[in-house]
Structure 1
Amino acid sequence: MFNYSNKTALITGASSGIGEAFANSLAAKKCNLILVARNEAKLTTLAAELSAAYKVKATVIALDLSAPGASQALFQVVQNHHLKVDLLINNAGFATYGYFEQVSGARQHEEVMLNVAALVDITHAFMPDLLRNQDGGLINVSSTAAFQPDPYMAVYGATKAFVLSFSEALWAENRKRGLKVLALCPGATETAFFNVVGSSEASVGSRQTPNTVVTNALKAFEKGKSHLISGRQNYLVSQVSRFFSRQFTLGIVERTLRPRK
């Protein structure tokens, strides 16, 4: 189990979707919050609602985590507030979609910086806090896209494969040090994700709600699991590459994600 009461959780990408659902769920468990995203107005509204409803402290930090130096700036702001992080949830991220050479190179670079570099830098900065009392937690949001290459979402799939591998390595390093680490791998979820991607073709299978994903995630986290694929259908889809050749699997994925003419 994990005792959330009176601890402090830092959530990136907290202004909507899975990040917002984590904030609501943790506040209900009497966990104080540090809410991080670019949209300060949304964060401020959310913080006020959760503070009023659950009598928790909710600190707002508006940052673009893909910008150079943002991760260190985040750490410094948290230090300036004299806060210690007990649970870190790296949720911020986005995807691009289309033929690789036709997608903006600058946008794909930003995708790598947010999905990978910022996640690593933030984790490294706050790891001493998480290990402090031998009862900390780390949840990194990966994706079912991590389980095979993803044509037309090549960069996104690669970043999420990194997150899964990185998180499971940290789980193995820290499982006897009192730190719980979970790689959360949701499939298609009812969020603004597909609006950012700009195409519904990027959606595979039925979509779960953010609340369902978060409920499943916290159960797996509390049990000390290294990763969770949220949803039975998503689990089955992610296992295809175990039973067929990589080339055959890639053919299926390519046809599924192929842009419609």
Structure 2
Amino acid sequence: MRLALIPLVLLTTLLAVPTAHAAGSSAQPRSERAHVRLDGVDVVLRKHTRQVVTVKHTRGWHARVSLWRIRHDGSVDRILRAADGRTGYGGLVRGPRRHQGTGTTPLGTYRLTSVFGTHPRGDAGALPYRRIRRGDFWVEDNGSDFYNRYRNQRQGGFRWWLPSSDDNSSERLTDYPTQYEWSIVTGFNHRQVRHRGAGIFLHVNGSGATAGCASAPRWFIRALVRRLDPDLAPVIGIGR
């Protein structure tokens, strides 16, 4: 699917969009950002961004997930699309207003930074990749310096032993072999604002809604992992 030319720079002052900067992630200065609307989702582009994933809420916790390529002439190609995407059981909320444990998916635009999963490195694409090992966690302990970071329990620095019922429990990655067969890390809350939430990924669908991430069918995530290129500054835009 090829879309018409889009005046990206001119859109900067026309759209009011939740941004990764507002949600606690690194971003360009406001005056340097360009905006584009894809599948009804307003996306804030970083400098050099040429790959965009959109998550368009459709109903309930369902969403349509697409991969787009922006050409240097401003035209846009849709590369992949999956109708059966998922969002959080708690609905959607603006990134700065999100609170840990609410099951909400943050609206806005965020970088796609790395991938982790259950396969060898050779099966992954160009983004930095980490294969899940025994004792690997995503830290959600608000008292830890490693909040919202990937870490193994042997490294210490967080209370990995806390039960899942505790507000500061972390996520043992090996507990989710289906969802985390392939999981793409977003830049949401990269600045580690406590209680805002940790571990917002784009991962393989489970049996229902997510706990705040976005997800898509396995074939889509696998194809996406192969295509994402750090040189194209990929971002994800989540919208209603």
Q: TM (normalized to structure 1)?
A: 0.25
Structure showing the higher helix proportion among its residues: 1
Structure showing the higher strand proportion among its residues: 2
Greater relative contact order, per chain length (Cα 8 Å cut-off, separation 6+): 2
Q: Computing the radius of gyration over CA atoms, which structure comes out larger, 1 or 2?
A: 1
